[in-house]
Amino acid sequence: MELENTPVTKNKRTKVELISSFFRFIKKNKVTITITTIVIGIIIAAYMAIPIINISDLKIVNLDTSIKLNEGQTVQLKNKDVSVKITHLADIACPKGVICFGSGKVVEYALMIDGTKYVATNALTIANSAYQVKVESSDYKTYAIVKIIKSKK
């Protein structure tokens, strides 16, 4: 009987009692646990189904979702460490008598992927990146409509 009073046996008995009480708790509260699980499932499904979620100036979106951003605004991809911030908009006309390359209409943005920052414009793509930003339209003064897409590698 001395063996039963050792700390190891007491510790094992405590673990068995804990597991047993856990299962008794689940059995006693199964309706509440089931309802809570269903509600959490519905919230997660709604979060994933809603294409755009606005939280102050931050917008959270699904992949391949078009979103209108003003200069300085940020969009975050759901469930990924990927975000885009519109850093500068410009509509600069080419002066007369000068040969210009490009339209002079610029949407500059910062793409963050897993903590790495890439700076680009609507005229450039980011080499060797898992994601790209597609600028769908802009007034080049106040807003741009962008979409985060997967790169075609």
Q: Are residues 58 and 34 in the same domain?
A: no
Predicted local confidence at residue 6, as pLDDT: 52
pTM reported for the whole predicted model: 0.68
In this structure, the answer to whether residues 34 and 69 fall within a common structural domain is no
Tell me the C-alpha distance between 52 and 74, whole Å. Answer: 12
Res 8 pLDDT > 60: no
Query: Do 32 and 58 lie in a common domain?
Result: no
- Read off the pLDDT band of 1 (50, 70, 90): very low
**Which residues constitute the domain of residue 90?**
54-150
Are residue 87 and residue 106 in the same domain, yes or no? Answer: yes
Q: Residue 153's pLDDT is what?
A: 62
**Lowest mean per-residue pLDDT among 34-43, 67-76, 98-107, 124-133:** 98-107
Arithmetic mean of pLDDT, 108-125: 88
As for how many domains the chain has, the answer is: 2
Same domain, 42 and 68: no
User: What residues pair up with 121 in beta bridges, in sequence order?
Assistant: 108
DSSP of 114-137, one letter per residue? TTEEEEEETT---TT-SEEEEEEE
Mean pLDDT of the chain: 86
The answer for residues whose C-beta is within 8 angstroms of residue 52's C-beta and 6 or more apart is: 59, 60, 61, 65, 67
CATH number assigned to the domain comprising residue 129? 2.60.98.10
Task: Specify which residues 83 forms β-bridges with.
Answer: 76, 112
Are 33 and 66 members of one domain?
no
Strands 131-138, 143-150: pairing is antiparallel
